[in-house]
């Protein structure tokens, strides 16, 4: 083989192979970045979900305490009342 044939083989075969390898490495790096971003997104969603859950739990507790207090006040008020029933007319 002469130099011209070898250079043509390298140009026709080697360049596309080298370019393909380069693109594969770039795509792999891009995919790794996507996976990391996705994991971070899931972590943030989980944190926000926990925060929402805690807020709802606290609000429910406050509501229970408020209505329990209100019920006991109404109960005291009702226990002090005397109700007289008049006969039907």
Q: Is residue 19 classed exposed, middle or buried when 0-12, 13-18 and 19+ CB atoms within 10 A define those classes?
A: exposed
Name which of 68, 86, 66 is nearest 76 in CA terms: 68
Distance of CA 20 to the CA centre of its chain: 37
Tens digits of pLDDT across the chain (89 residues) = 688 787 887 777 888 888 888 999 999 999 999 999 999 999 999 999 999 999 999 999 999 988 888 888 888 777 777 666 677 66
Cα dihedral 54→60→66→68 (10° resolution): -130
d(CA 11, CA 7): 6
Show the tokens assigned to 74. 């109404």
What is the model's pLDDT at position 11? 78
């Amino acid at each position: 083989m002469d130099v011209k044939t070898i250079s043509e083989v390298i140009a026709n075969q080697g360049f596309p192979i080298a370019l393909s390898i380069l693109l594969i490495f770039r795509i792999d790096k891009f995919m790794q970045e996507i996976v990391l971003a996705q994991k971070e997104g899931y972590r943030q969603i989980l944190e926000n979900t926990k925060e929402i859950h805690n807020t709802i739990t606290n609000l429910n507790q406050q509501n229970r305490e408020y209505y329990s207090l209100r019920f006991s006040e109404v109960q005291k008020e009702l226990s002090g009342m005397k109700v007289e029933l008049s006969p039907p007319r």
